[in-house]
Structure 1
Amino acid sequence: MPLLTRSNEKILAPASFAQCRIPRYNQSHFHVDQSFLKIHNIPFVYRLHSGHTLSVQHLRHILQLIIKKHASLRTSLIFNKETNILIQQIIDMNDSSKQLFTFIESTYETEVQLNDILYDEKYNPQLFSLAQGSVFRCHLVYYKQISSNHLLSGKDLLIFNFHHAIFDFSSMSIFLDDLNQAYTTGQLLYDDSTNLRYLDYAVIEQQMSMTGASMFWLDVLHDCKLDQPLSLPYDRYRLSNEHRTSHATSLSFDFGHDLSHDFLTHASSNNISIEHLTFAIYFIFLFKLTNGQTDLCLAMNINNNRYRDELRSIIGLFENVIPFRCQLDPHRHFHQLLEHVQEITSNSMKYSYFPLQHILNQHPHISKHAFLDTSLEFISYKSNNAMVIGDAQLVPGSFSFNGNEDEIRSASDFSLSIYHNIYMNQLSCTINASLDLFNRETVEKISQRFHFIVQQLSASMIDNQMNKPIYELPLILSNEQYLMQSLNNTQISFPSALTCIHHEFVYQSVIEMISGPNRSNKEEQHTVIVQRVGRPVDLSLLGNLDELFHPESLSNDNIQDLEEVRNVLSIALHEHCSSHATFVYNRSFFSPTIPGQHGEWDLGLGKALWRGFYSCLVFAKGTHHLLMNLDGRFHS
């Protein structure tokens, strides 16, 4: 890699790979709502600590100093149609025709008015102009009236907002450090002739030799089915040409003090990165959640790709997305998987500078890179929930506008973000899932299962019981375990020596070869496992057998009668699929097709529909049986 040095004469250069990816990555590979594509606002909101004040005039002056030092905050981005290149240009501080940044003041009286202001800061794409170099704004929001003595205090808010093209989340610590230094001393000490700028980094990036990185990614993704998404428990599917929205639901939970302490202690005492430890857990979770998929490839978001010391003081966009592939052996133990994850993560990070667009171009035969639909990120940060500017203490605010957690925007179908608060020594995570594909109830269940497996592994670490094969780790929640135990504790005689529902699933099976369409609508041969379950479910649980045998009679006014059967089938399938990757099933759920009328069994239709599998399940008791097949209806 060449020496990173300042190019004094340059104020014009091609955009960085990360900047070029913002429009291309979203438009080419996500096909999301176009209004969402235009939104790249990164706002930060702060409130002053009780009794503290901040001088507005002094704040305005020091922001000028920061913009002078960090040229990226006064850089325009223009697409040159003749050369088909995105160009960045630094705006001269003395150019009176350009507004270097926006500084506005407004007021609010009610929470509704404040929420409207915050929503506008986050989602209004008109706040910035890349062509004009208007990429940073400071918004002062006063409670009831603008201060006559030019001081922020009390219930007033301070909002810093940046365009993502010139700013990543790691840039904020650089910005705040300089803000405090300038506010306290009235100056920023730096050498304008030698300080490396983001534009210099973009120039050097274009000159870097990437032969080694290119070979590495070709090797890592050899034979990887990049166009096939993970088999997550979707509630519905979208057609390949269907419009994709950006609407998503979001769920978060803290690991808590004890769980965080257990993981951090285990990582420290075994010289393991907490990042690698959580990644290994997540791959186990995905293996279980996808019913035994062992070749797992997803997108890893690199949020702070400052891989050289010279880059650590530069405000700019240092992000990338790389494939993260784990070929998991379910018969290995957790520590063996952890060693594998450590190796693949370390090797991938060595070449994390290789642009995503270059990786995608290595596979021109793939029209849709489905691995991008599932993403993972690990964010480590230092925060004590307060910052200092001069003598004033500021507390970060929230951009939570209402209680509806479904009102978020996300480009991914399914993403997990793991956060490590270094200051508090706490771990937390957030799961975002597209409402195009998931019901919120499903995402809640997924979140519960992830929390459950985290707790299991934590307990195993404490007791030094990490010698189980990965496939034996259960994903069944406590209420589901209780239901299975109560059903297994019956007088039912199984035809084999096995005594559990999921064992009975394995025991009775027929393997057939069928021909069916794959996701590209091409005929392929598929191996199908046909199962017959003897008598694990007592149909006497149902209030009215006519609900099953004569659905056309519309007699099943109380669909709750089927809840026990629905739960048992879902649990049995989930437990079996998670533990034995060679068998394929779909989860089953019961729901009414028409309110107040008869219902249908929905076999998921995930693998059945887009991999060409045909499946049926039979529950029998004496001469009565319930047959469910792909048409989703009941047959006697």
Structure 2
Amino acid sequence: VTNMNPLISKTPATTKQWTQLNITLGQASYAQERIWLDEQLRLSITEEDKGLHSYNSLLVYKITSGSVSIPCLRKAIKCVINKHQIFRTSLNYDTTQYCLKQSINPSQDDSWSYQFTRSHLDDNEKIDELVFNEETSNKYFNLDQGRLFRCHLIKQTETVNNNDILNENDLVLLSFHHSAIDEHSRYLFLRDLKLAYTSGQLNIDDNELQYIDYSQHERQMDMTELKEFWKKMLTDFPFEHHLKLPYDHYLTKIGSGSSFPFQVDKSMIRQIFRYKQKRNVTMFRLFLSCYYVFLFKLINETDLCVNGLTPNRYRSELGNIIGPFENMLPYRFQLNPHQSFNEVVKQVEQLCQDIKENDRLPFQDIIALYRSAAVRSSSSSSSASMKLPFMQTLLRVDIEDDVWHLDDEKNTVLNKLSPPTEGTYIRTTNITPIDLTLKVKYNLNNKTLGFSFEYADNLFEDKTIELLSKRFQQLLKHLFDVSSTFDLDEQPVYELSIILSDEQRLIEK
């Protein structure tokens, strides 16, 4: 997790530092607006279909060493909520000014939800049900009242009969409303929670920027150059263009999604890390290059658009603020099949660098720019204005840290519980607005990689996704396996293959 620090951009010395505004009411950030609108859409869908659920951001940890003092943990949580105002932030639409407003509530005991449950050690069904409820239920959070965090402790009945202590195999569930958190914020939360747990307090700098301050400063930025960049990026991208993904069904209704995790050989993972180090390329840029080549081989198209998430912490003073900063961006790339893979990686690196310098424009503004241009050029303005571009496929690459050292002195260690890593269809009832997502999780310390395809159930059959995962593994094998003869410097990417071995034998026959 400590390797996330390079994701935070440094503020140039000539740029004026943003300062705290000492306010408790202000306009919501662009990210909060996007999340709030998404929430309203999800609520309307779940009301129509009771089998669907919204989603929460959930961390599940099992104690593997030492013990956890429940009173100390609860006190530490209060310290974190007191320090970070985002966990006490209400979101309400102002009908007089026609905008979404955020307001900071006082720090009180009921600022967050707490639950303690006893469970049998071998009652996995009950534990799975409790975890599912934490991840999908919206009854624990309230945007109007600013209740955005919840802690649920699950104690096994076989452990020592002391309700103030959690022991080995007991669970700690930390649940966040997604309007309060993003990937880097999870690291900040765990860091501050550990500090508060071991010291009993958290120092609060009265001059330190809060999320509400960032939201107001963000609104004052000149977006003119950013808009010009995105206009140029998407100016000739056809509005009606859709990637010909291998859909099994064609439906427009948003529904639930599933996930199919898969792994690659450890030797291949070592080669991928060596390539990353040799080329000094980020994992996101490397796998974005792989995904472009994969899509080209899969659907035989060269004008490709993949969604990606950027940390959006473009100033150094934003590095320690908990809140939703991530911005979704369309990475449009015109692939030249006659180039080598290394040449493709080089071009993708330049694309990502250009986007990084212009990644502050909110996704909803990019969509608005693109729609307005499409309406002007379309004979049917109504149909152009209704479609959602860039929502077909997404690449997400995250740093994964499975171990949380809560108390180094007492050797209190918690391990993060994750879904199965291979060959299991993970069913969810969460709403899935993206058709197909490739997720990559990596650990720099352990040099591990994990993959999964998340997909919309009403668009893809399970067997199709399993086949996609095998084809993607085949591509990685051609690129990085030690036995591969493919020349990354010389051979064009069109010579790469995603044909499986049994298919190859049929072709040869």
> What interval of TM-score do these two structures reach, taking the shorter chain for normalisation?
0.7 to 0.9
Aligned to 1:44: 59
Residues 372-521 of structure 1 correspond to what in structure 2 (within 5 A)? 372-381=391-400, 383-389=401-407, 391=410, 392-398=412-418, 404-407=425-428, 409=430, 410-459=432-481, 465-466=487-488, 467-486=490-509
Pick 1 or 2: higher relative contact order, CA cutoff 8 A, min separation 6.
Answer: 2
Aligned to 2:313: 306
State the alpha-carbon separation in 1 of the partners of residues 498 and 223 from structure 2: 42
Choose from 278, 283, 293 the match for 1:269.
278
Matched, 1:284 2:293: yes
State the alpha-carbon separation in 2 of the partners of residues 130 and 404 from structure 1: 32
CA-CA distance at 1:57 after TM superposition: 1.2
2:308 and 2:328 in contact (8 A); partners too: yes
The one-letter amino acid of 1:287's match is F
Residues 13-28 of structure 1 correspond to what in structure 2 (within 5 A)? 13-25=26-38
Task: Give the SS at the match of 1:39.
Answer: coil
CA-CA distance at 1:468 after TM superposition: 2.1
Aligned to 2:379: none
Matched, 1:107 2:118: yes
Task: Give the SS at the match of 1:480.
Answer: helix
Choose from 133, 138, 157 the match for 2:151.
138
**Structure 2: which 5+ runs fail to align?**
1-10, 376-383
The one-letter amino acid of 2:273's match is L
CA-CA distance at 1:15 after TM superposition: 1.0
Residues 307-346 of structure 1 correspond to what in structure 2 (within 5 A)? 307-346=314-353
Aligned to 2:228: 215
Q: State percent identity of aligned pairs.
A: 30
State the alpha-carbon separation in 2 of the partners of residues 158 and 427 from structure 1: 25
State the alpha-carbon separation in 2 of the partners of residues 73 and 460 from structure 1: 48
CA-CA distance at 1:378 after TM superposition: 1.8
Q: Give the 3 Å change call, closer, same or farther, for CA 451–274 of structure 1 in structure 2.
A: same
State the alpha-carbon separation in 2 of the partners of residues 429 and 134 from structure 1: 33
State the alpha-carbon separation in 1 of the partners of residues 45 and 492 from structure 2: 40
1:23 and 1:37 in contact (8 A); partners too: no
Q: CA RMSD in A?
A: 2.6
CA-CA distance at 1:185 after TM superposition: 1.5
CA-CA distance at 1:333 after TM superposition: 2.0
Aligned to 2:74: 60
2:438 and 2:452 in contact (8 A); partners too: yes
State the alpha-carbon separation in 2 of the partners of residues 399 and 438 from structure 1: 21
CA-CA distance at 1:188 after TM superposition: 1.3
Q: Give the 3 Å change call, closer, same or farther, for CA 397–139 of structure 1 in structure 2.
A: same
State the alpha-carbon separation in 2 of the partners of residues 126 and 178 from structure 1: 27
Q: Give the 3 Å change call, closer, same or farther, for CA 398–103 of structure 1 in structure 2.
A: same
State the alpha-carbon separation in 1 of the partners of residues 419 and 147 from structure 2: 23
1:266 and 1:461 in contact (8 A); partners too: no
1:227 and 1:371 in contact (8 A); partners too: no
State the alpha-carbon separation in 2 of the partners of residues 165 and 423 from structure 1: 30
CA-CA distance at 1:26 after TM superposition: 7.0
The one-letter amino acid of 1:83's match is Q
Q: Give the 3 Å change call, closer, same or farther, for CA 470–399 of structure 1 in structure 2.
A: closer
Task: Give the SS at the match of 2:305.
Answer: strand
Aligned to 1:156: 170
1:180 and 1:389 in contact (8 A); partners too: yes
State the alpha-carbon separation in 1 of the partners of residues 263 and 254 from structure 2: 30
Task: Give the SS at the match of 1:475.
Answer: coil
Q: Give the 3 Å change call, closer, same or farther, for CA 220–8 of structure 1 in structure 2.
A: closer
Q: Give the 3 Å change call, closer, same or farther, for CA 117–37 of structure 1 in structure 2.
A: closer
Q: Look at both structures and tell me which one has the larger radius of gyration over its CA atoms.
A: 1
CA-CA distance at 1:56 after TM superposition: 1.1
Q: Give the 3 Å change call, closer, same or farther, for CA 89–313 of structure 1 in structure 2.
A: same
State the alpha-carbon separation in 1 of the partners of residues 357 and 44 from structure 2: 30
Q: Give the 3 Å change call, closer, same or farther, for CA 404–335 of structure 1 in structure 2.
A: closer
Matched, 1:90 2:104: yes
2:435 and 2:456 in contact (8 A); partners too: yes
**Structure 1: which 5+ runs fail to align?**
487-636
State the alpha-carbon separation in 2 of the partners of residues 204 and 8 from structure 1: 9
Deviations 1:361-387 (A, max 9, x none): 112223212321211122134x25343
Which piece of structure 1 moves more, 110-119 or 124-133?
110-119
1:71 and 1:90 in contact (8 A); partners too: yes
CA-CA distance at 1:14 after TM superposition: 1.0
State the alpha-carbon separation in 2 of the partners of residues 380 and 251 from structure 1: 19
Deviations 1:449-476 (A, max 9, x none): 0000110011489757132222222221
CA-CA distance at 1:165 after TM superposition: 0.3
CA-CA distance at 1:279 after TM superposition: 1.3
Task: Give the SS at the match of 2:183.
Answer: coil
State the alpha-carbon separation in 2 of the partners of residues 279 and 196 from structure 1: 33
The one-letter amino acid of 2:354's match is N
Matched, 1:255 2:275: no
State the alpha-carbon separation in 2 of the partners of residues 269 and 124 from structure 1: 45
Deviations 1:148-198 (A, max 9, x none): 45111133211111111011122111111111111111221231x211101
Task: Give the SS at the match of 1:164.
Answer: coil
Choose from 204, 214, 228 the match for 1:201.
214
State the alpha-carbon separation in 1 of the partners of residues 261 and 96 from structure 2: 46
1:49 and 1:154 in contact (8 A); partners too: yes
> So what's the TM-score if we normalise by structure 2?
0.87
> So what's the TM-score if we normalise by structure 1?
0.70
State the alpha-carbon separation in 2 of the partners of residues 386 and 57 from structure 1: 19
CA-CA distance at 1:299 after TM superposition: 1.5
State the alpha-carbon separation in 1 of the partners of residues 362 and 138 from structure 2: 26
1:39 and 1:125 in contact (8 A); partners too: yes
Aligned to 2:4: none
Aligned to 1:351: 358
Matched, 1:233 2:256: no
State the alpha-carbon separation in 2 of the partners of residues 208 and 420 from structure 1: 34
Q: Give the 3 Å change call, closer, same or farther, for CA 38–220 of structure 1 in structure 2.
A: same
State the alpha-carbon separation in 2 of the partners of residues 124 and 116 from structure 1: 11
Q: Give the 3 Å change call, closer, same or farther, for CA 461–315 of structure 1 in structure 2.
A: farther
The one-letter amino acid of 1:301's match is L
The one-letter amino acid of 1:296's match is L
